[in-house]
Structure 1
Amino acid sequence: MTVLSRLEDRMPGRVTVLFLLAAALFAVFMQEAFALGAGSYVTSKYEPGGFVLSASGKSAPLCVSSEDYWGVAHAVKDLQSDIEKVTGAKPELSTDGLASAREMVIAGTIGKSPLIDKLISNKKLDVREIDGKWESFIIKVVTKPFPGVDRALVIVGSDKRGTIYGIYDVSEKIGVSPWHWWADVPPRHLSSLYVKSGTFEEGPPSVKYRGIFLNDEWPDLTNWMIHTYGYAKQSVNPPVPPDVANYGHLFYERVFDLLLRLKADYLWPAMWNNAFNEDDTLNPRLANEYGIVMGTSHQEPMI
């Protein structure tokens, strides 16, 4: 079965195909814009000074502070899963401080992660190039970051989305496509993963808000929604009438995941016969947790 036939099984119809093509073009634009002049910092062969992300059936543990944003912790869990998909070796995940290891991955946001802030105050990590900037991140191998730790791969963001983008950037570099779910793109399989020595910096983006809108979702996408997720639960307050397709949090989680992996930050939701905030009260909450900025109408005047 081809990728196209699987797409047609999931989201049949020409309108949906056009939607996917438009999104694909957006993805290419975004990836080119962010990757301009930059090569991959991840390799499957060891280089002197490189950080061992995964080798010999073992992956470096991941550390994220419970005090950081929910979206950051969620992205780290995705990275944990992505590393396992590529290497078969699932890394341990620590949310209560450092892992019990000599080498580890530390991800966090300036001003939200005690681990990151301590690295900065101890002059182990220089973040002056991204501090206070919009959606920026640094990926760097740090030697002797803490007592008892030989080296750490540090992913530090200037803000919530900056950190999330940095985490998902690693996921993409190891071989997990942003389209892993929507287009059934399988991850590549490698037994070893190494991060090159050096400092890898990205941001701020030249366009502050970047996103997509769901347009002409009836009938193709809406019929797929009904088939996949059913109807939204009827309600008086908030008002949800019968026979409304369930454009709820299970669907939007998938959309948010794609947007963040593509380094987008804005979404105009389905609005043909739907109300984002009312159809599922988890929708706006999750948008905030993920870090997605929500618009209302994509017609007049795309506010």
Structure 2
Amino acid sequence: MRKGIISLILLFIAQLGWAQFNLRSGQSVALVSDNTEEQVVQTALKLFMRDYQSVFSTPAVMNVRKGDIIVGTVGKTSLVEATGVDLSCLKDKKQAFLLTVLPDGKLLVAGSDAHGTAYGIMELSRLIGVSPWEWWADVVPEKKTSFTLPADYQTTQSPSVEYRGIFINDEDWGLMPWSSKNYESADQQQIGPKTNRRIFELLLRLRANTYWPAMHECTLPFFLTKGNREVAAEFGIFIGSSHCEPMVCSAAGEWRRRGEGDYDYVNNSASVYKFWEDRVKEVAGQENIYTLGMRGVHDGQM
């Protein structure tokens, strides 16, 4: 009788240990995700795979059928629902995610939408010790031999502000000279896709989603710089524009390049309207936030 009780206790303890989510150095981890997930999810997965290699010195691999980490967006793939987990905590929430350890010791990363799923993946990177400031502040990830989440681990997170991000301002003596002289390969003054990729990675890791590009006359405008649009889409970044730049048009940098006549809606409305309309048509398939209202070029008179 005593032996039987001891055996049951040992079995129970073993099951608890097995139900934990474990990562170990020298042991590859498999992520399972549907290849139809949106681009921002695919980007986050690539970042996590890089992070896993940095922390555990072991590669992470992708699998479309089975894996140790199940990643999916509610309504996008059956992978999430197939786990049987109660997903009601994500209902009617934007950019929300759920991380929970499953009874078999696997980890579920579920998002209410693509942004939520991507943020959930980045939360896992943070948990294993990778700082969002890894590149910008030279925060080298600490090597680990193991990482464990307990069997009852669960977290649900969502933003209280829908659009969160940064405005690159007064770039003349800061980001633009550094970018154009030291980081981009172009021979003109610009903040290009190589620089923006680093900025957007930081935003994604910080769970930010909005970017107002630099808009001074010295800088080649964001949408006139080849590759900028594509890298924004890759990281799920909403492109907006600052107080005097309506309809994601940088009047300071763009009017002299593609406008006609004076930037004056009273006396030159057809040209100004076309200036705005052409841009809206050009970027209609992208995630943008449109500033309304008009001021003169660089807050000047009209």
The TM-score, its normalising length taken from structure 2, stands at 0.70
Equivalent AA in structure 2 for residue 62 of structure 1 = L
Pairwise mapping of residues 214-233 of structure 1 onto structure 2 (< 5 A)?
A: 214-230=168-184, 232=186
1:277 corresponds to which letter in structure 2? F
User: What corresponds to 1:183 in structure 2?
Assistant: 137
2: distance between equivalents of 1:211 and 1:298?
Answer: 15
Q: Is the 8 A contact 2:222 2:228 kept in 1?
A: yes
- 1:112 and 2:82 correspond: no
For 1:97, the equivalent position in structure 2 comes to 65
Which one has a larger percent helix, Structure 1 or Structure 2? 2
The equivalent of 1:158 in structure 2 is 112
Aligned equivalent of 2:210: 266
Gaps of 5+ in 2: 1-15, 247-289, 292-302
Tell me the CA shift for residue 298 of structure 1: 4.6
1:238-285 deviations in whole A, cap 9, x for unaligned? xxxxx63232221111111101111111110122223211112x3223
Deviations 1:103-126 (A, max 9, x none): x1111111222312433xxxx111
Give the Cα separation in 1 of the matches to 2:234 and 2:53: 25
Q: Which moved more, 1:289-298 or 1:185-194?
A: 289-298
Q: Are the equivalent residues in 2 in contact too, given 1:139–1:154 (CA < 8 A)? A: yes
1:136 partnered with 2:96: yes
Query: Alpha-carbon deviations, 1:217-255, whole Å to 9, x = none?
Result: 1123211112234465xxxxxxxxxx6323222111111
1:204 aligned onto 2:158: yes
Equivalence for 2:196: 252
Q: Which moved more, 1:67-76 or 1:199-208?
A: 199-208
Q: Which residue of 1 aligns with 2:236?
A: 291
Q: CA deviation at 1:152?
A: 1.8
Gapped runs of 5+ residues in structure 1?
1-45, 144-149, 233-242
Shift of 1:137: 0.5
1:254 maps to a residue whose letter is: R
In 1, are the aligned partners of 2:184 and 2:192 still within 8 Å (CA)? no
- Is 1:51 the equivalent of 2:11? no
Q: Conserved in 1, the CA contact under 8 Å of 2:96 and 2:112?
A: yes
User: Residues 217 and 109 (structure 1 numbering): CA distance in 2 closer, same or farther, change over 3 Å?
Assistant: same
Percent of matched pairs sharing the same residue? 36
1:268 maps to amino acid: W
Inter-partner Cα distance in structure 1 for 2:97 and 2:189:
38
- CA root-mean-square deviation: 2.2
Is this contact kept in 2: 1:135–1:162, CA < 8 A? yes
> Which of 244, 267, 275 pairs up with 2:221?
275
**Normalising by structure 1, what TM-score?**
0.70
Could you say which structure has the larger radius of gyration?
Answer: 2
Deviation of residue 297 (structure 1)?
A: 2.3
**Secondary structure of residue in 1 paired with 2:55:** helix
Q: 1:194–1:110: structure 2 CA closer, same or farther, 3 Å change rule?
A: same
How far 1:199 moved relative to its partner? 4.6
Work out the CA distance in 1 between the residues paired with 2:145 and 2:33: 25
In the aligned structure 2, how far is the partner of 1:68 from the partner of 1:166? 14
1:46-78, Cα deviation, whole Å (9 max, x unpaired) = 9674211225x2133112210111211221121
SS in 1 for 2:107: strand
Contact 2:184 2:194 in 1 (8 A): no
Amino acid across the alignment from 1:140: T
Distance 2:39 2:149 in 1: 26
Q: Bigger shift: 188-197 or 168-177?
A: 188-197
Structure-2 change in CA distance of 1:300 and 1:279 (3 Å): closer
Which amino acid is 1:274 matched to? L
